[in-house]
Amino acid sequence: MGIRTVAVHSVADADSLHVRFADEKICIGPPPARDSYLNIPVLISAAEVSGADAVHPGYGFLSENAHFAQVVQKCGFKWIGPEPQTMRLMGDKVSARAAMAKAGVPTLPGTGVIETDREADEAVERIGLPVIIKASAGGGGRGMKIVHSRDRLSAQLAAARSEAQAGFGNPAVYLERYIGRPRHVEVQVLGDGERAIALGERECSIQRRHQKMVEEAPSVALDDARRAELLRIARKATESIGYRTVGTLEFLLDEDKSFYFMEMNTRIQVEHTVTEEVFGLDLVREQIRLAAGDPLRLPADMRPRGHAIELRINAEDPVTFAPSPGRITALNLPGGLGVRVDTHVYQQYVVPSHYDSLLAKLIVHAENRPAALARTRRALAEFVVEGIKTNLDFHRRLLANADFVAGRLDTHLVERMGAP
Protein backbone atom coordinates (compact mmCIF):
# COMPACT_ATOMS: atom_id res chain seq x y z
CA MET A 1 0.00 0.00 0.00
CA GLY A 2 3.06 2.26 0.14
CA ILE A 3 2.44 3.19 3.79
CA ARG A 4 5.50 3.60 6.02
CA THR A 5 5.30 1.68 9.29
CA VAL A 6 6.47 2.44 12.82
CA ALA A 7 6.96 -0.51 15.17
CA VAL A 8 6.63 0.22 18.87
CA HIS A 9 8.33 -2.32 21.11
CA SER A 10 9.39 -2.97 24.67
CA VAL A 11 13.02 -3.64 25.59
CA ALA A 12 12.23 -7.38 25.52
CA ASP A 13 11.05 -7.21 21.89
CA ALA A 14 13.90 -5.11 20.49
CA ASP A 15 15.15 -8.02 18.38
CA SER A 16 11.74 -9.20 17.13
CA LEU A 17 11.61 -9.69 13.37
CA HIS A 18 8.84 -7.15 12.75
CA VAL A 19 10.87 -4.50 14.57
CA ARG A 20 13.83 -5.16 12.27
CA PHE A 21 11.73 -4.84 9.12
CA ALA A 22 9.63 -1.79 10.06
CA ASP A 23 10.55 1.54 8.49
CA GLU A 24 11.01 3.04 11.95
CA LYS A 25 11.12 1.62 15.47
CA ILE A 26 10.45 3.24 18.84
CA CYS A 27 11.14 1.66 22.23
CA ILE A 28 8.25 2.36 24.57
CA GLY A 29 9.55 0.97 27.85
CA PRO A 30 10.65 -2.02 29.94
CA PRO A 31 9.26 -5.56 29.52
CA PRO A 32 6.28 -5.42 31.93
CA ALA A 33 3.24 -4.68 29.76
CA ARG A 34 1.89 -2.07 32.16
CA ASP A 35 5.06 -0.04 31.56
CA SER A 36 5.07 -0.38 27.77
CA TYR A 37 2.29 -1.97 25.70
CA LEU A 38 -0.44 -0.86 28.13
CA ASN A 39 1.02 2.61 28.73
CA ILE A 40 -1.31 4.87 26.74
CA PRO A 41 0.59 8.18 27.20
CA VAL A 42 3.81 6.58 25.96
CA LEU A 43 2.05 5.05 22.93
CA ILE A 44 0.53 8.41 22.01
CA SER A 45 3.92 10.07 22.39
CA ALA A 46 5.42 7.48 20.02
CA ALA A 47 2.72 8.26 17.44
CA GLU A 48 3.37 11.99 17.78
CA VAL A 49 7.18 11.92 17.53
CA SER A 50 7.06 9.57 14.53
CA GLY A 51 4.57 11.74 12.65
CA ALA A 52 2.17 8.81 12.26
CA ASP A 53 -1.27 9.28 10.70
CA ALA A 54 -2.93 6.22 12.24
CA VAL A 55 -2.63 3.61 14.98
CA HIS A 56 -3.14 -0.10 14.32
CA PRO A 57 -3.69 -1.88 17.66
CA GLY A 58 -2.90 -5.44 16.53
CA TYR A 59 -4.81 -8.22 18.28
CA GLY A 60 -3.61 -8.05 21.89
CA PHE A 61 -3.12 -5.66 24.79
CA LEU A 62 -5.17 -2.50 24.01
CA SER A 63 -6.74 -3.73 20.76
CA GLU A 64 -10.24 -3.83 22.29
CA ASN A 65 -9.81 -0.97 24.75
CA ALA A 66 -12.41 1.69 23.95
CA HIS A 67 -10.68 4.29 26.11
CA PHE A 68 -7.45 3.90 24.13
CA ALA A 69 -9.35 4.19 20.85
CA GLN A 70 -10.99 7.38 22.09
CA VAL A 71 -7.66 8.89 23.19
CA VAL A 72 -6.13 8.04 19.79
CA GLN A 73 -8.95 9.84 18.00
CA LYS A 74 -8.91 12.87 20.33
CA CYS A 75 -5.18 13.27 19.68
CA GLY A 76 -5.84 13.52 15.95
CA PHE A 77 -4.89 10.05 14.74
CA LYS A 78 -6.97 7.60 12.77
CA TRP A 79 -7.96 4.52 14.77
CA ILE A 80 -7.76 1.38 12.66
CA GLY A 81 -10.75 -0.26 14.28
CA PRO A 82 -14.40 0.36 15.17
CA GLU A 83 -15.77 3.45 16.87
CA PRO A 84 -15.16 3.56 20.65
CA GLN A 85 -18.90 3.43 21.42
CA THR A 86 -19.20 0.25 19.35
CA MET A 87 -16.27 -1.27 21.22
CA ARG A 88 -17.93 -0.45 24.53
CA LEU A 89 -21.24 -1.95 23.42
CA MET A 90 -19.72 -5.21 22.19
CA GLY A 91 -16.87 -5.37 24.71
CA ASP A 92 -19.31 -5.86 27.56
CA LYS A 93 -20.78 -9.32 27.09
CA VAL A 94 -24.07 -8.49 28.79
CA SER A 95 -24.77 -5.46 26.58
CA ALA A 96 -23.51 -7.39 23.54
CA ARG A 97 -25.97 -10.22 24.24
CA ALA A 98 -28.79 -7.70 24.52
CA ALA A 99 -27.81 -5.97 21.26
CA MET A 100 -27.60 -9.26 19.40
CA ALA A 101 -30.92 -10.52 20.78
CA LYS A 102 -32.51 -7.26 19.62
CA ALA A 103 -31.08 -7.90 16.14
CA GLY A 104 -32.64 -11.36 16.05
CA VAL A 105 -29.47 -13.33 16.71
CA PRO A 106 -30.04 -16.55 18.73
CA THR A 107 -28.57 -16.35 22.24
CA LEU A 108 -28.41 -18.94 25.00
CA PRO A 109 -30.81 -18.50 27.93
CA GLY A 110 -28.97 -16.29 30.39
CA THR A 111 -29.01 -13.26 32.64
CA GLY A 112 -27.81 -9.72 33.00
CA VAL A 113 -25.16 -8.88 35.60
CA ILE A 114 -25.73 -10.96 38.72
CA GLU A 115 -25.56 -8.83 41.86
CA THR A 116 -26.57 -11.29 44.61
CA ASP A 117 -26.60 -15.01 45.36
CA ARG A 118 -30.39 -14.87 45.45
CA GLU A 119 -30.51 -13.51 41.87
CA ALA A 120 -28.20 -16.31 40.79
CA ASP A 121 -30.34 -18.95 42.49
CA GLU A 122 -33.49 -17.62 40.84
CA ALA A 123 -31.74 -17.61 37.47
CA VAL A 124 -30.65 -21.24 37.89
CA GLU A 125 -34.25 -22.15 38.69
CA ARG A 126 -35.30 -20.60 35.39
CA ILE A 127 -32.36 -21.71 33.18
CA GLY A 128 -31.68 -25.11 34.71
CA LEU A 129 -28.35 -26.77 35.50
CA PRO A 130 -25.62 -26.81 34.43
CA VAL A 131 -24.87 -23.12 33.98
CA ILE A 132 -21.67 -21.27 33.22
CA ILE A 133 -20.58 -18.10 35.01
CA LYS A 134 -18.82 -15.61 32.73
CA ALA A 135 -17.06 -12.31 33.31
CA SER A 136 -18.98 -9.50 31.66
CA ALA A 137 -15.77 -7.74 30.63
CA GLY A 138 -13.68 -10.84 30.13
CA GLY A 139 -12.43 -13.48 27.77
CA GLY A 140 -9.85 -16.22 27.42
CA GLY A 141 -11.41 -18.38 30.12
CA ARG A 142 -10.72 -16.02 33.04
CA GLY A 143 -13.67 -15.41 35.32
CA MET A 144 -15.40 -18.46 33.86
CA LYS A 145 -16.82 -21.24 36.07
CA ILE A 146 -19.10 -24.18 35.28
CA VAL A 147 -21.72 -24.95 37.93
CA HIS A 148 -23.28 -28.42 38.09
CA SER A 149 -24.75 -28.16 41.60
CA ARG A 150 -26.57 -25.39 43.46
CA ASP A 151 -24.44 -26.19 46.50
CA ARG A 152 -21.43 -24.83 44.62
CA LEU A 153 -23.15 -21.78 43.10
CA SER A 154 -22.24 -19.21 45.76
CA ALA A 155 -18.60 -20.28 46.01
CA GLN A 156 -18.18 -20.35 42.23
CA LEU A 157 -19.72 -16.89 41.91
CA ALA A 158 -17.23 -15.51 44.42
CA ALA A 159 -14.31 -17.18 42.63
CA ALA A 160 -15.47 -15.92 39.22
CA ARG A 161 -15.86 -12.35 40.52
CA SER A 162 -12.39 -12.46 42.05
CA GLU A 163 -10.83 -13.69 38.80
CA ALA A 164 -12.74 -11.10 36.77
CA GLN A 165 -11.58 -8.29 39.05
CA ALA A 166 -7.97 -9.44 38.88
CA GLY A 167 -7.99 -10.04 35.14
CA PHE A 168 -10.12 -7.16 33.84
CA GLY A 169 -10.56 -4.69 36.71
CA ASN A 170 -14.29 -5.42 36.67
CA PRO A 171 -15.94 -8.05 38.93
CA ALA A 172 -19.27 -8.16 37.03
CA VAL A 173 -20.42 -11.65 36.02
CA TYR A 174 -23.50 -13.18 34.41
CA LEU A 175 -24.97 -16.66 33.94
CA GLU A 176 -25.67 -18.61 30.79
CA ARG A 177 -26.89 -22.11 30.00
CA TYR A 178 -23.93 -24.45 29.66
CA ILE A 179 -23.57 -26.67 26.58
CA GLY A 180 -21.52 -29.74 27.42
CA ARG A 181 -19.83 -30.58 24.09
CA PRO A 182 -20.18 -27.57 21.79
CA ARG A 183 -18.32 -26.65 18.66
CA HIS A 184 -16.88 -23.15 18.50
CA VAL A 185 -17.65 -21.53 15.14
CA GLU A 186 -17.00 -17.88 14.33
CA VAL A 187 -17.88 -15.64 11.41
CA GLN A 188 -15.54 -13.06 9.86
CA VAL A 189 -17.40 -9.83 9.17
CA LEU A 190 -16.50 -6.51 7.52
CA GLY A 191 -18.57 -3.35 7.63
CA ASP A 192 -18.34 0.28 6.50
CA GLY A 193 -20.93 1.63 8.94
CA GLU A 194 -23.86 1.00 6.62
CA ARG A 195 -23.26 -2.17 4.64
CA ALA A 196 -21.67 -5.38 5.93
CA ILE A 197 -20.62 -8.74 4.52
CA ALA A 198 -19.89 -12.07 6.20
CA LEU A 199 -16.79 -13.78 4.82
CA GLY A 200 -17.48 -17.34 5.80
CA GLU A 201 -16.97 -19.15 9.07
CA ARG A 202 -14.00 -20.61 10.92
CA GLU A 203 -13.98 -23.75 13.06
CA CYS A 204 -12.15 -23.00 16.33
CA SER A 205 -13.11 -26.00 18.46
CA ILE A 206 -9.59 -27.25 19.15
CA GLN A 207 -8.90 -25.46 22.41
CA ARG A 208 -7.14 -25.96 25.71
CA ARG A 209 -8.62 -24.13 28.69
CA HIS A 210 -10.60 -21.89 26.32
CA GLN A 211 -7.44 -20.95 24.41
CA LYS A 212 -7.55 -21.72 20.69
CA MET A 213 -4.85 -23.96 19.26
CA VAL A 214 -6.08 -24.81 15.75
CA GLU A 215 -8.47 -23.04 13.38
CA GLU A 216 -9.79 -24.01 9.97
CA ALA A 217 -12.16 -22.78 7.29
CA PRO A 218 -14.75 -23.69 6.34
CA SER A 219 -16.30 -25.75 9.17
CA VAL A 220 -17.16 -29.35 8.32
CA ALA A 221 -20.13 -29.14 10.72
CA LEU A 222 -22.29 -26.94 8.48
CA ASP A 223 -24.20 -27.87 5.36
CA ASP A 224 -24.96 -25.21 2.75
CA ALA A 225 -28.36 -24.29 4.22
CA ARG A 226 -27.10 -23.95 7.81
CA ARG A 227 -24.07 -21.98 6.63
CA ALA A 228 -26.23 -19.57 4.61
CA GLU A 229 -28.44 -18.95 7.66
CA LEU A 230 -25.46 -18.35 9.96
CA LEU A 231 -23.84 -15.90 7.55
CA ARG A 232 -27.14 -14.09 6.93
CA ILE A 233 -27.62 -13.58 10.67
CA ALA A 234 -24.01 -12.46 11.15
CA ARG A 235 -24.30 -9.89 8.37
CA LYS A 236 -27.61 -8.56 9.72
CA ALA A 237 -26.17 -8.32 13.25
CA THR A 238 -23.11 -6.41 12.00
CA GLU A 239 -25.26 -3.90 10.12
CA SER A 240 -27.58 -3.48 13.11
CA ILE A 241 -24.81 -1.89 15.20
CA GLY A 242 -23.41 0.26 12.36
CA TYR A 243 -20.13 -1.64 12.50
CA ARG A 244 -17.12 -0.22 10.65
CA THR A 245 -13.91 -2.28 10.10
CA VAL A 246 -13.25 -6.01 10.45
CA GLY A 247 -14.59 -8.09 13.31
CA THR A 248 -15.64 -11.56 14.36
CA LEU A 249 -18.91 -12.87 15.72
CA GLU A 250 -18.37 -16.02 17.80
CA PHE A 251 -20.99 -18.74 18.16
CA LEU A 252 -21.45 -22.00 20.01
CA LEU A 253 -22.85 -24.83 17.92
CA ASP A 254 -24.67 -27.57 19.85
CA GLU A 255 -25.02 -31.20 18.86
CA ASP A 256 -28.18 -30.61 16.80
CA LYS A 257 -26.35 -27.82 14.88
CA SER A 258 -28.27 -24.97 16.52
CA PHE A 259 -26.03 -21.92 16.94
CA TYR A 260 -25.97 -19.28 19.68
CA PHE A 261 -24.14 -15.96 19.85
CA MET A 262 -21.28 -15.93 22.35
CA GLU A 263 -19.32 -12.70 21.85
CA MET A 264 -17.90 -10.26 19.32
CA ASN A 265 -14.21 -9.50 18.83
CA THR A 266 -13.90 -5.89 17.66
CA ARG A 267 -10.45 -6.37 16.10
CA ILE A 268 -8.50 -8.50 13.66
CA GLN A 269 -7.91 -11.99 15.09
CA VAL A 270 -4.94 -14.32 15.21
CA GLU A 271 -6.79 -16.77 12.96
CA HIS A 272 -7.84 -14.27 10.29
CA THR A 273 -5.25 -15.95 8.07
CA VAL A 274 -7.40 -18.99 7.25
CA THR A 275 -10.14 -16.70 5.94
CA GLU A 276 -7.53 -14.83 3.88
CA GLU A 277 -6.40 -18.09 2.29
CA VAL A 278 -9.83 -19.40 1.30
CA PHE A 279 -11.08 -16.02 0.04
CA GLY A 280 -7.82 -14.81 -1.51
CA LEU A 281 -7.71 -11.36 0.08
CA ASP A 282 -5.73 -9.36 2.64
CA LEU A 283 -7.96 -8.57 5.62
CA VAL A 284 -5.51 -6.11 7.19
CA ARG A 285 -5.43 -4.14 3.93
CA GLU A 286 -9.24 -4.04 3.97
CA GLN A 287 -9.10 -2.92 7.60
CA ILE A 288 -6.80 -0.01 6.72
CA ARG A 289 -8.96 0.98 3.75
CA LEU A 290 -12.10 1.07 5.90
CA ALA A 291 -10.33 3.15 8.55
CA ALA A 292 -9.34 5.61 5.81
CA GLY A 293 -13.03 6.12 5.02
CA ASP A 294 -13.29 3.96 1.92
CA PRO A 295 -16.64 2.19 1.43
CA LEU A 296 -16.87 -1.59 1.46
CA ARG A 297 -16.17 -2.70 -2.11
CA LEU A 298 -16.22 -6.48 -1.74
CA PRO A 299 -19.20 -8.30 -3.28
CA ALA A 300 -21.71 -9.87 -0.91
CA ASP A 301 -21.65 -13.25 -2.64
CA MET A 302 -17.96 -14.17 -2.26
CA ARG A 303 -17.42 -17.92 -1.96
CA PRO A 304 -14.56 -19.75 -0.24
CA ARG A 305 -12.07 -21.66 -2.34
CA GLY A 306 -10.74 -24.92 -0.92
CA HIS A 307 -9.84 -25.49 2.75
CA ALA A 308 -7.34 -23.82 5.09
CA ILE A 309 -5.92 -24.89 8.46
CA GLU A 310 -3.91 -22.81 10.95
CA LEU A 311 -1.78 -24.30 13.74
CA ARG A 312 -0.51 -22.07 16.53
CA ILE A 313 3.12 -22.98 17.19
CA ASN A 314 3.92 -22.08 20.79
CA ALA A 315 7.03 -22.06 22.96
CA GLU A 316 5.74 -24.61 25.42
CA ASP A 317 6.19 -28.21 26.50
CA PRO A 318 4.10 -30.46 24.18
CA VAL A 319 2.92 -32.60 27.13
CA THR A 320 2.58 -30.26 30.12
CA PHE A 321 2.09 -27.04 28.10
CA ALA A 322 4.45 -25.20 30.46
CA PRO A 323 6.09 -22.13 28.83
CA SER A 324 9.57 -22.63 27.37
CA PRO A 325 11.39 -19.34 26.79
CA GLY A 326 15.02 -19.28 25.65
CA ARG A 327 17.30 -19.13 22.62
CA ILE A 328 16.32 -20.76 19.32
CA THR A 329 19.51 -22.53 18.27
CA ALA A 330 18.18 -23.99 15.01
CA LEU A 331 15.14 -23.15 12.89
CA ASN A 332 13.71 -24.51 9.67
CA LEU A 333 10.39 -23.16 8.41
CA PRO A 334 8.35 -25.27 5.96
CA GLY A 335 7.44 -23.94 2.55
CA GLY A 336 6.09 -24.92 -0.83
CA LEU A 337 2.73 -24.60 -2.54
CA GLY A 338 -0.09 -23.76 -0.14
CA VAL A 339 2.16 -23.32 2.92
CA ARG A 340 2.49 -20.01 4.78
CA VAL A 341 4.32 -19.23 8.03
CA ASP A 342 3.71 -15.96 9.88
CA THR A 343 6.36 -15.44 12.56
CA HIS A 344 8.52 -12.92 14.41
CA VAL A 345 11.33 -15.38 15.24
CA TYR A 346 14.55 -16.55 13.57
CA GLN A 347 17.62 -18.65 14.41
CA GLN A 348 19.40 -17.31 17.54
CA TYR A 349 16.34 -15.27 18.53
CA VAL A 350 15.76 -15.31 22.29
CA VAL A 351 12.12 -15.96 23.18
CA PRO A 352 11.30 -13.71 26.17
CA SER A 353 9.38 -14.92 29.18
CA HIS A 354 7.19 -11.85 29.49
CA TYR A 355 4.45 -12.37 26.90
CA ASP A 356 2.26 -14.90 25.12
CA SER A 357 4.12 -18.04 24.02
CA LEU A 358 3.05 -17.83 20.34
CA LEU A 359 6.09 -18.30 18.07
CA ALA A 360 4.51 -18.74 14.66
CA LYS A 361 1.35 -19.51 12.77
CA LEU A 362 1.52 -22.35 10.26
CA ILE A 363 -1.22 -21.87 7.66
CA VAL A 364 -1.89 -24.47 4.99
CA HIS A 365 -4.31 -24.22 2.05
CA ALA A 366 -5.42 -26.96 -0.35
CA GLU A 367 -8.35 -27.90 -2.57
CA ASN A 368 -10.23 -29.77 0.20
CA ARG A 369 -9.86 -30.82 3.85
CA PRO A 370 -8.17 -34.21 3.26
CA ALA A 371 -5.60 -32.53 1.01
CA ALA A 372 -5.10 -29.75 3.55
CA LEU A 373 -4.53 -32.32 6.32
CA ALA A 374 -1.97 -34.16 4.21
CA ARG A 375 -0.17 -30.90 3.36
CA THR A 376 -0.20 -29.88 7.05
CA ARG A 377 1.42 -33.19 8.05
CA ARG A 378 4.14 -32.64 5.48
CA ALA A 379 4.71 -29.08 6.68
CA LEU A 380 4.93 -30.24 10.31
CA ALA A 381 7.53 -32.83 9.31
CA GLU A 382 9.66 -29.99 7.89
CA PHE A 383 9.15 -27.61 10.83
CA VAL A 384 12.21 -27.64 13.11
CA VAL A 385 12.73 -25.54 16.23
CA GLU A 386 15.69 -26.40 18.50
CA GLY A 387 16.94 -24.89 21.76
CA ILE A 388 13.47 -24.55 23.32
CA LYS A 389 10.46 -26.81 23.65
CA THR A 390 7.49 -26.30 21.33
CA ASN A 391 4.05 -27.83 20.82
CA LEU A 392 4.98 -29.21 17.38
CA ASP A 393 4.72 -32.78 18.70
CA PHE A 394 1.25 -32.06 20.08
CA HIS A 395 0.11 -30.94 16.63
CA ARG A 396 1.56 -34.08 15.08
CA ARG A 397 -0.44 -36.18 17.55
CA LEU A 398 -3.56 -34.15 16.82
CA LEU A 399 -3.28 -34.71 13.08
CA ALA A 400 -3.10 -38.46 13.76
CA ASN A 401 -6.20 -38.38 15.98
CA ALA A 402 -9.10 -40.26 14.38
CA ASP A 403 -11.78 -37.87 15.66
CA PHE A 404 -9.92 -34.81 14.40
CA VAL A 405 -9.28 -36.35 11.00
CA ALA A 406 -12.97 -37.33 10.71
CA GLY A 407 -14.10 -33.82 11.73
CA ARG A 408 -15.76 -35.05 14.95
CA LEU A 409 -14.79 -31.96 16.91
CA ASP A 410 -15.86 -30.19 20.06
CA THR A 411 -14.15 -27.90 22.55
CA HIS A 412 -13.17 -30.83 24.83
CA LEU A 413 -11.30 -32.96 22.27
CA VAL A 414 -7.88 -31.81 23.54
CA GLU A 415 -8.84 -32.82 27.09
CA ARG A 416 -9.83 -36.28 25.85
CA MET A 417 -6.37 -36.53 24.28
CA GLY A 418 -4.95 -36.26 27.80
CA ALA A 419 -3.91 -32.61 27.90
CA PRO A 420 -3.66 -31.15 31.43
Contact 314, 357 (CB under 8 A): yes
Other CB atoms within a 10 A radius of the CB of residue 60 amount to 14
Cβ contact 50:3 at 8 Å: no
Contact call for residues 162 and 171 (beta carbons, < 8 A): yes
267 catalytic, yes or no? yes
The Cα 58–Cα 71 span in angstroms is 16
Please tell me which residue in 267, 289, 340, 375 is annotated as part of the active site: 267
389: which residues sit within 8 A by CB, 6+ positions away? 315, 316, 317, 318, 324
Category of 321 on φ-ψ map: left (φ > 0), alpha (ψ -120 to 50) or beta: left
Strand extents, DSSP E, 315-367:
326-327, 330-332, 339-343, 350-351, 358-366
How remote is the C-alpha of 243 from its chain's centroid? 18
DSSP state of 110: B
- Which residues carry out catalysis? 267
